[in-house]
Amino acid sequence: MADDMLEIATPLAADAEKDAAIRQLPRAAQFVFRGDERAARQAGEVFGVSFPFKPCRAERHGDRAVLWLGPDEWLLIAPAYQEASVEAEFAIGLADVPHALVGVGHRNVAFSLQGFRATEVLNAGCPLDLDEAAFPVGMCTRTVLAKAEIILWRTGPQDFTIGAWRSFAPYVRDFLIEARTRL
């Protein structure tokens, strides 16, 4: 694998109709942060993005994002080149605060799904109601896509980011491509 990316045998709709364009996103620094509300508030100051305390919501500032995964668990995302600096920032900024910060970027792959038929593609294998009223922009959750666990994040009215474990990434990619072709 070149540059920690999956080898993509198809163009993933990059040159196809824009009804549901699928593309693999570059590798990112990703961390799971665990801690109480005090730790999370301080971590938000250190990371530069306020941690969301409302369930299933994400916050973004610049090229960094924080996704709520559970009552005391968040997924932090930053550009890959910032991985070491994020770890150093947390080591200094939260030295006296009980918390856990675990790097998971090596195990995760993310895809972008965009276009006016993106929800239809996702709903081919995801049981959630993805109508924008039920799953608005900024919402995120753990769910399934067919037989794979994913993290689904709505980043725009017709834009989604789909995170999966690297070992499931070919399956998720192929499922999305197949679902798109069947529409």
Does residue 50 surpass a pLDDT of 50? yes
- pLDDT surpasses 60 at 25: yes
Beta bridge pairs of residue 66: 59, 76
Delimit the domains of the chain by residue range.
20-182
CATH class entry, domain 20-182? alpha beta
| pLDDT for position 7 | 40
DSSP 26: P
Q: How confident is the model at residue 56 (pLDDT cuts 50, 70, 90)?
A: very high
Rounded Cα gap, residues 32 and 39, in angstroms: 13
For residue 84 the two structure tokens come to 């070491």
Q: List the one residue out of 23, 24, 19, 25 whose CA is nearest residue 120.
A: 19
State pLDDT tens for residues 127-153. 999 999 999 999 999 999 999 999 999
Q: What is the pLDDT of residues 64-86, one digit of tens each?
A: 999 999 999 999 999 999 999 99
Predicted local confidence at residue 11, as pLDDT: 42
Q: For the chain, what is the radius of gyration of the CA atoms?
A: 17
